[in-house]
Amino acid sequence: MDEIKVGLAGFGPAGSFFHAPLIAATPGLRLAAVVTRDPAKADRVSALGAAVVGCAEELWERSDLIVIASPNRTHVPLATAALTAGLPVVVDKPLAGTAAEAAGLIRLAREKELPLTVFQNRRWDGDFLTIRRLGAELGEIRRFESRFERWRPVPKGGWRERGGPDEIGGLLYDLGSHLVDQALELLGPVTAVYAETDVRRAEVEAEDDVFLSLTHLNGARSQLWMSAVAGQLGPRFRVVGAERTYVKWGLDRQEDRLRAGDSPGLPEFGEEPEETWGTLGVEGDTRKVRTEPGAYADFYRGVVAMVREKAAPPVDPAGVVAALAVLEAAKVAASEQRVVSVPQPGA
């Protein structure tokens, strides 16, 4: 078949550092057009061999597949317009600001008989893939501790930090979309949420320091930290199983490599050096375990199969609805300083 022509809405960090390189490295995909009105970004788009267009409607006309990597508040209206135009859609996380809006997009996609998926790339982090691989060696997972912390005492500015609630900014929907998604993928549905959200830096309006505690239906607990003001970082993961515990420091390196301009098509792209591998075991008896290669490129390989072969989407948007329900519960829990129950489907 001919290459799938991809239209990219948005060429900020998500579009330029993540989606464009991954699309370029995926057999069967070609970046055909990008929406941007920024002259500097337009020059970079042209250098990639893609057309620069000024509005979404022009994008629909040039594309077989739409990727939405624009500001969060635009995800739902752009995805709605693309599906209505008869095009398959990939949406960067978060899919929507509410579970109800996300469910509405899923219904529209089904009505149009079009594929819809969400770029939850952290499912393909090497350390998270390692946790899934360890399985029986860990035993029943009882506590899942996950951190995504940074030291950014000086705000970077922009809508993610300064925007109001309508912008769907802040760390809860940014990093929290990843951490909650991983917790649900590993441990299943959540029944209750406790949350603390704070704004620690001057000139910032959206939360930049967040803690979530999730109770899962199976009795396991997840404790999730996300922060822009952590001067010394905690472990990325501590997974406490009935048999052994896994501890891992440091973030998956794929993002850093993408930002540095490395191609995700390189054979060693997702590899991690031995000195940063995690440890598995119990007190007095631990060993290093090899980190699985990170595999962000697998997402877009799944997108090709989704479009060409009508395969299942690489990320089922129904699971993302469940994660958004948890994030909504977390907002209530933090504002009312209480534990909030999460309704279960069909309950």
Amino acid 347: pLDDT: 56
Residue 1 has pLDDT above 70, yes or no: no
Q: Are residues 199 and 278 in the same domain?
A: yes
Q: Per the domain annotation, does 311 fall within a domain?
A: no
Total domains present in the chain:
2
> Is the pLDDT reported for residue 82 higher than 60?
yes
Q: How much of the chain is helix, strand and coil, in % rounded to 5? A: 40, 25, 35
Overall average pLDDT of the 111-131 stretch: 98
Structure tokens at 52: 């620069």
Residues 187 and 335 in one domain: yes
Q: Evaluate whether 84 touches 283 at the Cβ level (below 8 Å).
A: no
Regarding whether 114 and 126 lie in a shared domain, the answer is no
In the listed set 87, 119, 151, which residue is the last one of a domain according to the structure? 119
Which of 110, 73, 111 has its CA nearest to residue 91? 73
Q: Which among 278, 140, 120 has a CA at the least distance from the CA of 185?
A: 120
Over 90: is that where the pLDDT of 166 sits? no
User: Mapping DSSP to helix (H, G, I), strand (E, B) and coil, where does residue 18 land?
Assistant: helix
Residue 111: how many other CB atoms lie within 10 Å:
10
pTM above 0.85, yes or no: yes
- Strand duo 209-216 + 190-198: pairing: antiparallel
Residues 83 and 202 occupy one common structural domain? no
Q: Where are the alpha helices (DSSP H) in the chain?
A: 13, 20-24, 39-47, 56-62, 75-84, 99-112, 126-134, 159-162, 170-173, 175-187, 254-259, 297-309, 317-336
Residue-wise pLDDT tens digits, 171-227: 999 999 999 999 999 999 999 999 999 999 998 999 999 999 999 999 999 999 999
Higher pLDDT: 163 or 43? It is: 43
CATH number for position 54: 3.40.50.720
Q: Which amino acid is at 48?
A: L
* CATH number of the domain where residue 210 is located: 3.30.360.10
- Residue 13 region by backbone torsions, left for phi larger than 0, else alpha for psi between -120 and 50, else beta: alpha
Final residue of a domain: which of 119, 154, 183? 119
Segment 133-162 shows an average pLDDT of 94
Co-location of 257 and 155 in the same domain: yes
Domain end, chosen from 119, 150, 176, is at 119
Query: Do 111 and 173 fall into the same domain?
Result: no
**In the prediction, which pLDDT does 305 show?**
97
Q: Write the DSSP string, 245-311.
A: EEEE-S--SHHHHHHTT--TTSTTTT---GGG-EEEEETTEEEEEPPPPP-THHHHHHHHHHHHH-P
Average confidence (pLDDT) over 36-40: 91
Inform me whether the pLDDT recorded for 163 exceeds 80.
no
pLDDT band at 346 (very low <50, low <70, confident <90, very high): low
Measured distance CA(185)–CA(123) in Å, rounded: 8
Cα separation, 166 vs 74, in Å, equals: 10
Do 182 and 279 fall within a single domain? yes
User: In this predicted model, which residue has the larger pLDDT, 1 or 64?
Assistant: 64
Q: List, edge to edge, every strand of the sheet that includes 89-92.
A: 51-53, 29-35, 4-9, 65-68, 89-92, 116-119
Is residue 166 assigned to a domain?
A: yes
Do 59 and 108 sit in the same domain of this protein?
yes
Residues 255 and 151 in one domain: yes
Domain interval for residue 40: 4-119
- The pLDDT score that the predictor gives to residue 181 is 98
What pLDDT is attached to residue 158? Answer: 87
Q: Are residues 105 and 171 in the same domain?
A: no
Nearest Cα to Cα of residue 94 among 189, 149, 49, 160: 160
The mean pLDDT of 30-39, rounded to a whole number, is 94
